Amino acid sequence: MKNIKPYINEHKDRFINELLDLLKIPSVSADPAYKNDVLNTAEAVKTSLEKAGCNKVEICETPGYPIVYGEKIIDSNLPTVLVYGHYDVQPADPIELWDSPPYEPVIKKTDIHPEGAIFARGACDDKGQMYMHVKALEIMTSTGQLPCNVKFMIEGEEEVGSESLAWFVPRNREKLANDVILISDTGMIANDIPSITTGLRGLSYVEVEVTGPNRDLHSGLYGGAVANPINILTKMIASLHDENNHITIPGFYDKVEELSRAERDEMAKAPFSLENYKKALDIDEVYGEKGYTTNERNSIRPTLDVNGIWGGYIGEGAKTVIASQAFAKISMRLVPNQDWEEITELFQKHFESIAPKSVTVKVKPHHGGQGYVTPIDNIGYQAASKAYEQTFGKTPIPQRSGGSIPIVSLFEQELKSKTILMGFGLNSDAIHSPNEHFGVWNYLKGIETIPYFYKHFTELSTK
């Protein structure tokens, strides 16, 4: 492959500006108020794929937001790479915590990104990382170096559970047929420590509702004599972990894949500084399941976390009241072999069983998905590894991530192919948080590395 760096250098300002334009559209899938923006983003992605050299691009309608499909088929005897990404973003709230408006991207230098980072909602998750693939395609087509077939499938509901994609994939198996799936929607250890994500956790997301008296009550007249739903809910939630931070739901750990000592020792070789980890979060101590390291806790172990909790009076001043209801949103991150629907059921049964008779409890399952692990002895992983070697000058480290892309296990089930997760974001990029950003260096490095994946994957498959 001809050196592509000169092409990148010549076009890098345009590459950056095109991404900035995409980031200006607030494609928040969770909030119906942004519906038109989400649809406009799909159109923008479609146009970008056409310009990058796809010979067929379409907006595929679904029961929800559309899926942008594009392809460039050069020879049916050559392998096909299917690129997946998402054009929707998380809500920007709490907006007052942003240093600059979330949909007015700016480039600022940071300690970790001395060459500048793009600050905007979606910069890293996933518009910036998805767009690296569009630009990588442009480079390969305009320098005459696309070595195989490519298909793009960019969805608009990843941040809300990929329901429409789960509908679309089984109905379009033929169209989506591929030899490997390539995704940039995860991270790496550091800019000088490249890594490839080999695992994602599964997810079960539920909402719980605790109802006590039929109306809000005076907390003096009734306090102490009737159940306070907020007291009860917090007590129930607290009981979901024991003193070792093990989850107490019966059966929760039954299917958890236990890693061997040897595998855990291998994992522990990845560079990691607990001091820096704590410093970056301004915490004096880490916290978690007894018997596991920080990196094990956030990757190979399942978790249960309250994501939001509400009820009662939270306005100015004091109001003496016992609320009639209390609510919480709870996520459980799952590891290989745990089935998300089974875990959701176990949660529901247990949570209802621990409720005192003085309240009623409702558990509403939201969404979920299975975890995923890629073995590293396949040509997809090897092609990715060689690509990083070429552009980073180092062999990447395989690393399991704590995050979830629930649709990946469905890809394997429906399309029978492995997914390679080439993420170029950093944990410090603040995805889902205020001031999300993506390093300009990371963006360009991703664009540079991806074409080498195509090259090596094609070579390894046709060997």
Residue choice 404, 417, 419, 435 for contact with ligand BES (CB under 6 A):
404
- Rounded Cα distance between 145 and 400, Å, is 32
From 24-32, 108-116, 158-166, 241-249, span contacting ligand BES (CB under 6 A):
158-166
Residue 404 interacting partner from Mn ion, ligand BES, none (CB closer than 5 to 8 Å by kind): ligand BES
Residue choice 18, 37, 71, 125 for contact with ligand BES (CB under 6 A):
125
- Number of continuous H segments (helices) and E segments (strands) in the chain: 12, 18
Residue choice 37, 71, 155, 185 for contact with ligand BES (CB under 6 A):
185
Instruction: Please check whether residue 86 is in contact with residue 130, taking contact to mean a CB–CB distance below 8 angstroms.
Output: yes
Site for ligand BES in 421-440 (CB under 6 A): 431
What residues line the site for Mn ion (CB under 5 A)? 125-126, 185
What DSSP assignment string belongs to 239-305?
A: TTB-TT--B-STTTTTTPPPPPHHHHHHHTTS---HHHHHHHHT-SS----TT--HHHHTTTS-EEE
Is 71 an interacting residue with respect to ligand BES (CB under 6 A)?
Answer: no
Q: Is the peptide bond before 365 cis (omega within 30 degrees of 0)?
A: no
- Rounded Cα distance between 460 and 6, Å, is 26
- Rounded Cα distance between 385 and 395, Å, is 6
Q: How far is the CB of 357 from ligand BES (least distance, A)?
A: 35
Is 155 an interacting residue with respect to ligand BES (CB under 6 A)?
Answer: no
Q: Residue type for 426, please?
A: L
- Rounded Cα distance between 340 and 143, Å, is 45
Residue 429 interacting partner from ligand BES, Mn ion, none (CB closer than 5 to 8 Å by kind): none
DSSP structural state of residue 396: P
Is 159 an interacting residue with respect to ligand BES (CB under 6 A)?
Answer: yes
Pick between residue 72 and residue 400 the one whose CB is nearest to ligand BES.
Answer: 400
- Rounded Cα distance between 155 and 147, Å, is 25
- Rounded Cα distance between 224 and 369, Å, is 42
Instruction: Give the contact letters, 363-402, x = binds to ligand BES (CB under 6 A), - = no.
Output: --------------------------------------x-
Residue nearest to ligand BES (CB): 403
Site for ligand BES in 16-35 (CB under 6 A): none
Is 187 an interacting residue with respect to ligand BES (CB under 6 A)?
Answer: yes
Residue choice 126, 138, 155, 157 for contact with ligand BES (CB under 6 A):
126
- Rounded Cα distance between 164 and 176, Å, is 15
Residue choice 123, 405, 415, 420 for contact with ligand BES (CB under 6 A):
405
Backbone angles phi, psi at 365, to 5 degrees: -65, 140
Q: How far is the CB of 296 from ligand BES (least distance, A)?
A: 16
Instruction: Please check whether residue 295 is in contact with residue 273, taking contact to mean a CB–CB distance below 8 angstroms.
Output: no
Residue 118 interacting partner from Mn ion, ligand BES, none (CB closer than 5 to 8 Å by kind): none
- Rounded Cα distance between 263 and 410, Å, is 26
Pick between residue 236 and residue 405 the one whose CB is nearest to ligand BES.
Answer: 405
Give the number of residues in contact with ligand BES, rule: CB under 6 A: 16
> Tokens representing 187?
């991270």
Pick between residue 149 and residue 164 the one whose CB is nearest to ligand BES.
Answer: 164
Q: How far is the CB of 156 from ligand BES (least distance, A)?
A: 12
Backbone angles phi, psi at 347, to 5 degrees: -60, -50
How distant is the alpha carbon of residue 158 from its chain centre?
8
Pick between residue 130 and residue 359 the one whose CB is nearest to Mn ion.
Answer: 130
Residues that bind ligand BES (CB under 6 A): 125-126, 158-159, 161, 185-187, 200, 203, 401, 403-406, 431
